[in-house]
Structure 1
């Protein structure tokens, strides 16, 4: 059986275990059903997720031109503290930026290997944490816009990492930490502008169960531009990664915009 199309990040369904889906233009694939089966991934080209042209992908599924023009990949995406829609100031497109920035955002702590701090739109809970491969996550604050969430994240980055060590996450090398205890000490660390939103009694705490039969001891990342065809036995799915028996791992999200054929 073959599935062909342009890769986008896997869609997920929160459950025990989490369910993963690859969505193509004319079909979809429940990736969990491929566990313990040998699959082949073949790379044949590119298609920009924004303009749909068959142009080389630059970053995040976008070609070079779209990456530097689309409001969907402005600097404020990766650095929420740069958001300006609350001031009525545009970065690239004020209508788009207002829709995304001026909605409830969550500042959270997540445990993927060690504790990290991050920001996501409330509508992306718990998807954001699943995509990161977090074992657990807890809400620290719910804030009315992206800017306030961003300045809070900046303050907390003095005490926590804001990045996931993907190798440790994929080998399941995780510290034993009680997230509610970590949250309890944050009230004195957050900016004065957001202290009114801090609620220690509200414990929105998630624990995640990933469909993994076997964690690798050591990982090697698959680059489809260098290895156009890869064959391996699927042993797990975590974050946006496929984990194979030989220790190869494939970051689906990093390959957004790649045209592939998946053969089972």
Structure 2
């Protein structure tokens, strides 16, 4: 079977295991059903996820012009502490930024390669943790806007990483930690204006189980700009990575906006 379209991050469904879907304009593919089968990937070209033009992708699925103009990729996305919508101050588009920033956000601990701290909109639980390949995650605080979440993350980055080591994650080389116990230590580390949102709950530890048949001992990242055709047996999916039998891994999210043909 053959599928063609523009790559965007795989959509997921929380379950045991996580279900993964590649969604194209006129079709979709449940990637779990491709496990243990040969999958061929051919790079065909580019299409910006924002303007739809066939322009070379610069970052995050956007062409150069859209990356520096669209409010969907403002600096506050990666650095929530830079959010200003709660002050009525625009970065690129105040209406858009108010819609995204002025809603409940979660600051969390997740267990992937190490214990990491992060921020996500409440509506993105547990999608955010699935995309990171976290085996466990636990909320620390729920706050009413992105700015408060951002300053909380900054305070906790002195004690936890905010990055995932993708190689360790896809190899299942995970740290061992008790996230419930870790969370109980944090009251005195979070900013004063956030302390009122710090509440301990007993039953809010999430566990994620990924559809992986075999974890690789060594990994090699597939880059479609350098390797325009690849074929291999799919043996796992974790985070936004496709894992192949020969140790090749393909980060779907890194190649958003790339037009591909998939053959099974």
- TM-score normalized by structure 1? 0.99
Please tell me whether residue 228 in structure 1 is matched to residue 224 in structure 2: no
Q: Could you say which residue in structure 1 is the equivalent of 2:190?
A: 190
- 1:63-212 to structure 2, matched below 5 A, reads 63-201=63-201, 203-212=203-212
Secondary structure of the residue aligned to 1:20 is strand
Q: Could you say which residue in structure 1 is the equivalent of 2:49?
A: 49
**More divergent stretch after superposition (242-251 vs 203-212):** 203-212
Between the aligned partners of 2:223 and 2:14, the Cα distance in structure 1 is 28
Please tell me whether residue 262 in structure 1 is matched to residue 256 in structure 2: no
Q: Deviations over 1:152-185 (max 9, x none)?
A: 0000000000000000001000111110000000
Q: Could you say which residue in structure 1 is the equivalent of 2:23?
A: 23
Between the aligned partners of 1:203 and 1:157, the Cα distance in structure 2 is 25
Between the aligned partners of 1:183 and 1:255, the Cα distance in structure 2 is 34
Moved over 2 A (4+): none
**Number of matched pairs:** 264
Q: Deviations over 1:97-156 (max 9, x none)?
A: 000000000000000011000000000000000000000000000000000000000000
Deviation of 1:226 after TM superposition, in Å, equals: 0.4
Between the aligned partners of 2:214 and 2:228, the Cα distance in structure 1 is 25
Instruction: Give the conservation status (yes or no) of the 8 Å contact 1:180–1:203.
Output: no
Please tell me whether residue 214 in structure 1 is matched to residue 223 in structure 2: no
- TM-score normalized by structure 2? 0.99
Deviation of 1:201 after TM superposition, in Å, equals: 3.0
Q: Could you say which residue in structure 2 is the equivalent of 1:61?
A: 61
Segments of structure 2 that go 5 or more residues without pairing to the other structure are: none
Secondary structure of the residue aligned to 2:151 is helix
Between the aligned partners of 2:201 and 2:252, the Cα distance in structure 1 is 37
Between the aligned partners of 1:143 and 1:202, the Cα distance in structure 2 is 19
Instruction: Give the conservation status (yes or no) of the 8 Å contact 1:138–1:203.
Output: no
Between the aligned partners of 1:106 and 1:202, the Cα distance in structure 2 is 17
Secondary structure of the residue aligned to 1:173 is coil
Deviation of 1:202 after TM superposition, in Å, equals: 5.2
Between the aligned partners of 1:141 and 1:204, the Cα distance in structure 2 is 12
Q: Deviations over 1:18-41 (max 9, x none)?
A: 000000011000000000001100
Deviation of 1:203 after TM superposition, in Å, equals: 4.2
Between the aligned partners of 1:137 and 1:203, the Cα distance in structure 2 is 12
Deviation of 1:200 after TM superposition, in Å, equals: 1.5
Cα 1:202–1:72 shift into 2, 3 Å: farther
